[in-house]
Amino acid sequence: MSLNIRIKNYWEGEAQGYSEFIDNELNGFERKAWSDLVLEYAPLKDSLDILDIGTGPGFFPIVLSQGGHNVTGIDLTENMIEFARLNLAREGASAKLMTMDCQDLKFPDNSFDLLVCRNLTWTLDDPARAYQEWHRVLRPGGRILVFDACWYLHLFDENMKIAYEKKEKETLMKYGYPVHRHKDEAEGEALSRKLFMSDKVRPQWDLDIMLKIGFSKVFADTSVGERILNEQQQDINSMHPPFLVGGEK
């Protein structure tokens, strides 16, 4: 079994739990916080053609299409797309949803004004190839916004491992659940040890590869967690705070 198929199978099983997480965000402050953050960095255009890469249960297609933008959401996993369809229907939102490998996009060159990607790049088996594809489908002057974190760097850094284990105990005592919550914890950790991004220092790796590929501008914001996480979430994620890394074609 190839690593890419193994990754796909894993996330097929995580779809329901992720949809429940997204549902909480749609009913909380995160809905507006995320929309405001994305549009702050987006190209200035009344109606953007947006590609949401790794759409999962459809959070960005919901909040961005309701802002008047044309959104296409893609995901490798059929279960994620099915939950996305259900969530969009419930919200009365309209967007295109497609099952597609983000490392092999089926769109023509220069198709989109904005690409958004949340908590996906760390799961890819060939992120450099993915960034090349994303650059290809962006229009000149278009932008890509990637939100992620160094989720499993502690598996490859002994000092971080010690600090992470301490944080894990604190989180269990304070909130009753661990830092990482997945349906298949064992497979999640086993995959994380094999994934290309797990031992990379980010967002520096992303900035370097985007410049190499040919983005005209690159930028990063390591403070976005203060805007899209509540106080409890910031505490839980203190070992792997979210970042934004972006580029302009």
Ordered mean pLDDT values, 10 residues apiece, the chain (249 residues):
82 88 94 97 96 97 96 96 96 96 97 97 94 98 97 92 92 85 75 90 97 97 96 93 98
Give every CB contact of residue 225 below 8 A, 6+ residues apart in sequence: 233, 234, 237, 241, 242
> What integer pLDDT is reported at residue 145 of this predicted model?
98
99: β partners: 75
- Alpha carbon of 132 to those of 1, 67, 118, 207: distances in Å? 25, 28, 17, 13
pTM attached to this predicted model: 0.94
Secondary structure element (H or E) that encloses residue 53, with its range? strand 49-53
- Provide the CATH number for the domain formed by 3-248 in this structure: 3.40.50.150
